[in-house]
A and B are shown apart, each in its own frame.
Chain A
Amino acid sequence: MIPLHWYLLVAAGMFALGIYGVLARRNAVAILMSIELMLNAVNINLVAFWRYMAPEALNGQMFAILVFAVAAAEAAVGLALIISIYRNRETVVAEDINLLKW
């Protein structure tokens, strides 16, 4: 079988790319997509740990399923917020939204 840490390294790489995306992008939609990338990296970790460390209980898989549900809820609320801001302001660039100080 493929060694566990290969999976972990891919996941860590994706998580780090997600962090870069959140911090560097100015666009709310892009930031949200980067967050989804981070959550997926976590899911790879969870499933890989489950398979290699504790396959007798389904903990890791359960957790991954719950992360799906949470990610779906976050995406729904986030996109709704973005739409409503866009409607009032005609911009989705985080930098243009500066009524309040960062």
Chain B
Amino acid sequence: MQLPILESINLMAVLPVLIIAGWACVLLVFDLLIPRSRKHWTAWLALVGLLGAAVALFFQIGHFARLGSEAAFDGMVTVDGFSIFLQVVFVLTAIVGVLLALDYLPRHGIERGEYYVLLLFTTIGMMIMSMAADLIVVFVALELLSIPLYILSGFAGMRETSEEAALKYFLLGAFASSFLVYGIALTYGGTGTTRLTGIAQAVTSDALNLPLTTVGMGLLLVGLGFKVAAVPFHMWTPDVYQGAPTPVTAFMSVGAKAGGFAALIRVLVTAFPAIASEWGTLIAVIAGLTMLLGNIVAISQSNIKRMLAYSSIAHAGYILLAVAAAQRSENASFAIGAVVFYLLAYALTNLGAFTVAIAVERDDGTGTEIDDFAGLGKTRPWMALAMALFMLSLTGMPISGGLVGKVFVFQAALQAVPGDPLLLAVVIIGVLTSVVSAFYYLKVIMVMYMREGEGKAVLPLALKTVLAATAFGTLVLGIIPGPVFQMAQRAMLK
């Protein structure tokens, strides 16, 4: 018997994923041979694998700029500019995730080689999520993204908060993903297919069962809304961010969110263009609520990890605004460009901010209060300066990537206002909440420079490198955003 699929697999298109997947399995075996006192070797080996994937991605950028898009695995996944751009973000995030853990894990007595293996596996989940062309792949990739993160959240097992964060994340995550599959099942029942393009065709043809499909889409949004921490599915975020080991928090605040948004855009824009005004309105409302809640609750936080958790909820709101703007097809390319640009800017800024949090954190897991930042302006001037930059970028102040990202998002939303006047109101909420957000971001800067304190921080070379790279990236995106945004806009799915 001959399997006809073999010709349509197209392994080259998914090469970066294959490199990381294969390397993770090899690493799992290698890790057994590495003595316990030398676990940092595993970290360096993991970095080698990620760099290999980065090289493969680099060659793919040129290839796909010419070709547009390519299907692989019999149409289960589509590799195009959008997925390549996001894969670059994921691989960068994973590299940072490894570097942040390099000193953190031994300092906290939780160093185990499996950390790096699980990090690679969850990265694969994210990468496949960004190229999903079938709801089945969306579901399995979401699980492949989440389950390693549940485990990593509980990685600091003997610290009770970590375990508890993991259990909470797990129970709510599994609950949300059962809504997601129920939504997929109803969509399948309504359209007779799970292929995204097939659903799009069915939605415009008579073969559709609209009530089933619409309810299915709504339940899908519940599942994905949980992943990106959108209101009202955000409750897990502060606890999990606070309880998980800080490098895991940093990684997940960027990776899981970007993965969720990748799936959201794939599903909504590819499969449901025919009912775009319905989901556009829904997403716009969620975006407004998310911005309001995230920013307002963040003001009262005293713990840096909790504060960044609410800040990440707020930023999910801004990104959702751009997703809502993608409802108008003539506007979709710009809006999706804004989403991926914002994701990149947020990734750099947020990873930088968490790097500082890791440097300040003490070995027993304390030192995560904002007050612990007091005095850093004197003892660690460069680090304080970088942190100030990240906080300004998160607020959306000039010469930072955060401002440019926000400008693109608001511009995309304003362009879509003729189709959906509600967006105007949400843009106004967005601008006002950005002003509100200055309160809590600037508070960190104020504490660092104005208040007297010990200003203790441990800053090994790996953290310094990450700090310099993320600060540089944030500045570059803020000063010359043009080239990157053009790339992001070309990332639009065809």
A and B touch in the complex (CB under 8 A): yes
- A:82-102 near B, CB below 8 Å: 82, 84-85, 88-89, 94, 97, 99-102
Quick one: closest A residue to B142, CB to CB? Answer: A70
User: Which residue of A81, A89, A100 contacts B242 across the interface (Cβ within 8 Å)?
Assistant: A100
Interface contact B189-A53, CB-CB below 8 Å: yes
Taken residue by residue from 30 to 68, chain A's Cβ proximity to chain B (1 for < 8 Å, 0 otherwise) reads as 011001001101100110010001100001101100110
Bound CA span A22–B168, Å: 12
Contacts of A31 on B, CB cut-off 8 Å? 171
Q: Is A10 in contact with chain B by the CB < 8 A criterion?
A: no
Bound CA span A60–B194, Å: 9
Taken residue by residue from 126 to 152, chain B's Cβ proximity to chain A (1 for < 8 Å, 0 otherwise) reads as 000000000010011001000100110
A18 to chain B, nearest CB (A): 7
Interface contact A88-B158, CB-CB below 8 Å: yes
Contacts of A15 on B, CB cut-off 8 Å? 178, 182
- B:143-196 near A, CB below 8 Å: 143, 147, 150-151, 154, 157-158, 160-161, 163-168, 170-171, 174-175, 177-178, 181-182, 184-186, 188-189, 192-194
Interface contact A67-B243, CB-CB below 8 Å: no
Taken residue by residue from 209 to 248, chain B's Cβ proximity to chain A (1 for < 8 Å, 0 otherwise) reads as 0000000000000000000000000010011001100000
Given contacts A73-B147, A81-B150, contact A38 B139 (CB under 8 A): no
Interface contact A42-B185, CB-CB below 8 Å: yes
Tell me the dominant secondary structure on chain B's binding face. helix
Contacts of B166 on A, CB cut-off 8 Å? 81
User: Which residue of A35, A88, A94, A101 contacts B163 across the interface (Cβ within 8 Å)?
Assistant: A88
Given contacts A35-B175, A45-B185, A78-B174, contact A85 B164 (CB under 8 A): yes
Bound CA span A99–B260, Å: 28
Contacts of A53 on B, CB cut-off 8 Å? 188-189, 192
Interface contact A66-B182, CB-CB below 8 Å: no
Interface contact B136-A62, CB-CB below 8 Å: yes
Contacts of A22 on B, CB cut-off 8 Å? 171, 175
Contacts of B160 on A, CB cut-off 8 Å? 88-89, 99
Given contacts A42-B182, A63-B136, A67-B181, contact A81 B170 (CB under 8 A): yes
Interface residues on A, range: 35 or more
B251 to chain A, nearest CB (A): 18
Interface contact A100-B243, CB-CB below 8 Å: yes
Interface contact A66-B140, CB-CB below 8 Å: yes
Q: Is A28 in contact with chain B by the CB < 8 A criterion?
A: yes
Contacts of A101 on B, CB cut-off 8 Å? 238-239
Interface contact A42-B235, CB-CB below 8 Å: no
Bound CA span A84–B154, Å: 10
Contacts of B174 on A, CB cut-off 8 Å? 32, 35, 74, 78
B59 to chain A, nearest CB (A): 32
Contacts of A39 on B, CB cut-off 8 Å? 178, 181
Q: Is A9 in contact with chain B by the CB < 8 A criterion?
A: no
Quick one: closest A residue to B172, CB to CB? Answer: A22
Quick one: closest A residue to B194, CB to CB? Answer: A59
* Best-surrounded residue of A35, A46, A74, A81 (most CB of chain B within 10 A): A81
Contacts of A46 on B, CB cut-off 8 Å? 185, 188
User: Which residue of A18, A49, A67 contacts B188 across the interface (Cβ within 8 Å)?
Assistant: A49
Given contacts A32-B171, A100-B165, A100-B239, contact A42 B192 (CB under 8 A): no
Contacts of A66 on B, CB cut-off 8 Å? 136, 139-140
Bound CA span A55–B178, Å: 24
Contacts of B181 on A, CB cut-off 8 Å? 39, 42, 67
Contacts of B164 on A, CB cut-off 8 Å? 85, 97, 99-100
Residues of B within 8 A of A (CB): 136, 139-140, 143, 147, 150-151, 154, 157-158, 160-161, 163-168, 170-171, 174-175, 177-178, 181-182, 184-186, 188-189, 192-194, 235, 238-239, 242-243
The 9 closest A-B pairs by CB, nearest first: A49-B189, A38-B178, A45-B185, A100-B239, A54-B192, A42-B181, A35-B174, A46-B185, A70-B143
Given A77-B170, A88-B158, 15 more A-B residue pairs with CB atoms under 8 Å apart are A22-B171, A28-B171, A32-B174, A38-B178, A38-B182, A41-B182, A54-B193, A59-B194, A62-B136, A63-B188, A74-B147, A74-B170, A78-B174, A82-B167, A94-B171
Between-chain CB contacts (< 8 Å), 6 pairs? A45-B182, A53-B188, A53-B192, A59-B136, A73-B143, A85-B163
